[in-house]
Structure 1
Amino acid sequence: MNTIQKELIKATVPILKSNGNDLIAYFYQRMLKNNPELKNIFNMANQASGKQQNALTGAVLAYAENIENPSVLINVLKSIGNKHVSLNIAPEQYDIVGSHLIGSIKEVLGDLATVELIEAWTCAYQELAQIMIGLEAEMYQKASNKKGGWKGWRNFIISKIVEESDEIKSFYLKPEDNKDIADFYPGQYISVSTFIPELGHKQPRQYSLSSASNNEFYRISVKKEKGINSTPNGIVSNTLHNKKEGDSIEVSAPAGVFYADPDSKTPLVLVSGGVGITPMMSMIETNKNSLQKNRTVWIHSCRNENVHAFKETIQELNDENTWLTSFVFYETLPESETNAIEGRVNLLEIKEEILIKDAKYYICGPALFIKVQYQSLVELGVNKENILYEEFGPQLLSLN
């Protein structure tokens, strides 16, 4: 891109800030109408809620604002690349997206979309697409070369289903071909894809792996999302909860940038809310199996004990291991005796327990939960570089 084109891109930042969501919403409608096969890839629930549009608007805006030096976005791009690889996104699909994005800019901006502006955005998109295609090619290669690794979708059998709470079930997945499976870092996720009769096509979802890496199976623990008011039931989670042992689903290789290094001796502070417990279970089980058994403090919050997954497992680990200290917060305490604390997590009140030298802090849960805990840690003086978080769904938070 030349200097003039970069200035044209930066000049569209105010338009993106004021009308970006309208543009992106139009883009998605245009693309999915003309390329309905992409409905197998895009999360249609996030389309309906507007979350996907908001996420892409934020990404396009960030790219426009940093057009002089897009390398500052490399960590964000790697996170997006991991998601794309888990969905088996191919280079030719970037051409489809680019065509509809540029077409949408022309049609939505009308007379404001000068030839020069369209050329600038075409060039900008092509440069971004090449960055992403290059990143993802490396990721595909690495995944394929790993022992037990593969590219794209692979059939797995649900070998066992365990009810972990009133709303969370664990699914143990074994490869249909009985061949090796790839190992993973604690905190990473897999994508699963299954046919949704109500939609007439497949839908993919990412689920954190909830066990330590092993040679036999992957475990995901899925919350059955129930609709509230105008929000519909989670269509994929409900479909999965209706699955039986022996059923088959498609699975992509483990991916993700949110994980704890199993070889590190750094202390861990885990802060989870609701189903955000799942990647933390992987971290805890991995630490249990390691030689160094890093000092770990785990703070978990949920509505009540009935929805608290892995409750007994965590209690046993806490009772039997000196390296683990756990705190549980329930919004509503049970009538029976419990060690849980009533209310929501307030890290400022337990700062003596969590302020550990050189610790890494991992947060996972709903977006508002993450934001509150992140701000509390910063207020307590924790270096932002030592705080990592995983937001389920489209990445809308940008806290670091």
Structure 2
Amino acid sequence: MLRQDTVAIVKQTIPVLQEHGETLTRHFYQRMFQQNPEVKPFFNPAHQKAGTQQRALAGAICAYAQHIDNPAALGDAVEQIAQKHVSLGIRPEHYPIVGENLLASIREVLGEAATDDIIDAWAEAYGVLADIFIQREGEVFQQQEDTYGWQGFKTFVVEKRERCSENIESFYLCPADGTELALHQAGQYITVRIPLPDGSTTMRNYSLSNMPGEPWFRISVKHERGSVEGTPDGVVSGYLHEKLKVGESVEVAPPSGEFTLTLPQEPEKPLVFIAGGVGITPLMSMLQVALDESPADRPIVFIQAAIDGAVQPFAEELETLNRRYDNLALHVRFSDPGADDLAVGRCQSSGIVDAALLEELVGDTPASYYFCGPTPMLRHVRQLLKARGVADRDQHFEFFGPAQAID
């Protein structure tokens, strides 16, 4: 437990953190990478370049300060971060590195305003937070060992590659030692670690897009191109698309993640999935489980949003499911359909997902929603659902990349 004077001092720093948070976190990452380059493989350089990692950390620090006297309020955020840390192999010995650089950054950025009392208070607060993460992450590592039979990274072999769209390729990965895979939870992701030319390694998380219980992990990877000037192309996605061949090996960590499917207890309650671009990957796994395990009369709506038919993933797979299950309503909407996309029936409508579409497909029946896609889409769907009066407990979503505010 934190001392009351520590709580009071940390809360007093909230206005300063709100004003200077991103400056502080930018300085923190620069300092840490310079002082402790061994931690760089844990971070995505594209997120660093775009500033999303810095904004996410600044938001997390402010949230911790605001709830420092009630850390239970941060339970969902702690779980999300702990799962991500485990997926990357972050261990207790990494926390002193972060703490040392964070405290030094507070002093260096704030200057004389960072009094000894403030530094001491944040040192104590960071220690308590680090202990929370270390304990939870230890539990998750043990759960992975118990469920999947390994921690850290294990060698897998590419069994098959399959083109999923113009810019997305599916990779079917099987354990090199021939062991049978335990059931993952629909919505989880795995971590892939690849070698770099300088002899180091880097890691990325990819959602599992296949039905649990199959003899492989399937990841469906978009070949990322730098969308912001100066932002590099995806290092790992480029490696997978351009270099990783069938029969070759790659290192994989066990499934992680808290964005998982929970079927509504009410058998008649509809499930609605809203997928944007490559954000469809965890929802494909969820959809297959929902169709397999739900009552035959549960309405399941799947809305796929894409730019056009060229970059629409899983078109044939979705159509096969749509024909097989009478309770599935599939609607494909392209924001910029090609000349023949509508004519040949690749999509049912054009534009963005809007209130009229949800009214048409769902009506006023209370439903449970799962959605995933680019951050602007998440913000838009979140506002649509709030306007429809959908309770937070019925809204489930995941960011690809650092979590950001969407309200």
TM-score range, shorter chain: over 0.9
Looking at structure 2, the residues matched to 114 and 287 of structure 1 have their Cα atoms a distance apart, in angstroms, of 55
Partner of 1:271: 274
Looking at structure 2, the residues matched to 82 and 2 of structure 1 have their Cα atoms a distance apart, in angstroms, of 29
Partner of 2:330: 326
| Contact 1:196 1:236 (8 Å CA) reproduced | no
- Cα deviation for residue 229 of structure 1 reads 5.2
Q: How does 1:262-301 map to 2 (within 5 A)?
A: 265=267, 266-290=269-293, 292-293=295-296, 294-301=298-305
Partner of 2:238: 238
Partner of 1:214: 213
Looking at structure 1, the residues matched to 201 and 366 of structure 2 have their Cα atoms a distance apart, in angstroms, of 44
| Contact 1:156 1:249 (8 Å CA) reproduced | yes
| Contact 2:263 2:294 (8 Å CA) reproduced | no
- Displaced runs of 4+ in structure 1, greater than 6 A? none
Q: How does 1:34-49 map to 2 (within 5 A)?
A: 34-49=35-50
- Cα deviation for residue 267 of structure 1 reads 2.9
Q: Which moved more, 1:338-347 or 1:234-243?
A: 338-347
Partner of 1:110: 111
TM-score relative to the length of structure 1: 0.95
Q: Report whether the alignment pairs 1:92 with 2:99.
A: no
SS in 1 for 2:405: coil
Partner of 1:123: 124
Matched residue count? 397
Partner of 1:387: 395
Looking at structure 2, the residues matched to 115 and 333 of structure 1 have their Cα atoms a distance apart, in angstroms, of 60
Deviations 1:148-183 (A, max 9, x none): 332111111111110010000000011111123232
Looking at structure 1, the residues matched to 284 and 115 of structure 2 have their Cα atoms a distance apart, in angstroms, of 53
Partner of 1:228: 227
Q: How does 1:1-400 map to 2 (within 5 A)?
A: 1-146=2-147, 148-197=148-197, 201-228=200-227, 230=229, 231-242=231-242, 243-261=244-262, 265=267, 266-290=269-293, 292-293=295-296, 294-334=298-338, 335=340, 336-338=343-345, 339-355=347-363, 357-397=365-405, 399=407
Looking at structure 1, the residues matched to 65 and 393 of structure 2 have their Cα atoms a distance apart, in angstroms, of 25
Q: Which amino acid aligns with 2:371?
A: I
Q: Which moved more, 1:341-350 or 1:186-195?
A: 341-350
- Cα deviation for residue 246 of structure 1 reads 1.5
| Contact 1:26 1:104 (8 Å CA) reproduced | yes
SS in 2 for 1:14: helix
Looking at structure 1, the residues matched to 270 and 252 of structure 2 have their Cα atoms a distance apart, in angstroms, of 32
Deviations 1:80-102 (A, max 9, x none): 00001111110110111111111
Looking at structure 1, the residues matched to 254 and 218 of structure 2 have their Cα atoms a distance apart, in angstroms, of 13
| Contact 1:182 1:253 (8 Å CA) reproduced | no
Change (3 A) 1:229 1:12: closer
SS in 2 for 1:392: coil
SS in 1 for 2:255: coil
| Contact 1:86 1:190 (8 Å CA) reproduced | yes
Looking at structure 2, the residues matched to 206 and 87 of structure 1 have their Cα atoms a distance apart, in angstroms, of 8
Looking at structure 2, the residues matched to 108 and 159 of structure 1 have their Cα atoms a distance apart, in angstroms, of 50
Looking at structure 1, the residues matched to 21 and 228 of structure 2 have their Cα atoms a distance apart, in angstroms, of 27
Deviations 1:33-77 (A, max 9, x none): 121111121212211221111111100010011111111001110
SS in 2 for 1:252: strand
| Contact 2:375 2:406 (8 Å CA) reproduced | no
Looking at structure 1, the residues matched to 288 and 149 of structure 2 have their Cα atoms a distance apart, in angstroms, of 22
Looking at structure 2, the residues matched to 175 and 16 of structure 1 have their Cα atoms a distance apart, in angstroms, of 46
TM-score relative to the length of structure 2: 0.93
Deviations 1:275-323 (A, max 9, x none): 0111111012223433635431011110100101110111122123111
| Contact 1:227 1:234 (8 Å CA) reproduced | yes
Looking at structure 2, the residues matched to 65 and 200 of structure 1 have their Cα atoms a distance apart, in angstroms, of 42
Looking at structure 2, the residues matched to 320 and 2 of structure 1 have their Cα atoms a distance apart, in angstroms, of 60
Change (3 A) 1:4 1:84: same
Looking at structure 1, the residues matched to 228 and 72 of structure 2 have their Cα atoms a distance apart, in angstroms, of 42
- Cα deviation for residue 356 of structure 1 reads 6.4
Looking at structure 2, the residues matched to 66 and 333 of structure 1 have their Cα atoms a distance apart, in angstroms, of 46
Report the RMSD for the aligned CA atoms in angstroms: 1.7
| Contact 2:192 2:252 (8 Å CA) reproduced | yes
- Cα deviation for residue 115 of structure 1 reads 1.3
- Cα deviation for residue 262 of structure 1 reads 5.9
Q: Which amino acid aligns with 1:368?
A: P
Looking at structure 2, the residues matched to 130 and 100 of structure 1 have their Cα atoms a distance apart, in angstroms, of 17
| Contact 1:271 1:363 (8 Å CA) reproduced | yes
| Contact 1:79 1:256 (8 Å CA) reproduced | yes
Identity of aligned residues (%): 39
Structure 1: state its 5+ residue gaps.
Answer: none
Q: Which amino acid aligns with 2:80?
A: S
| Contact 1:364 1:370 (8 Å CA) reproduced | yes
Looking at structure 2, the residues matched to 364 and 205 of structure 1 have their Cα atoms a distance apart, in angstroms, of 18
Deviations 1:226-282 (A, max 9, x none): 223513312211111111112211111111111113696453100011001111110
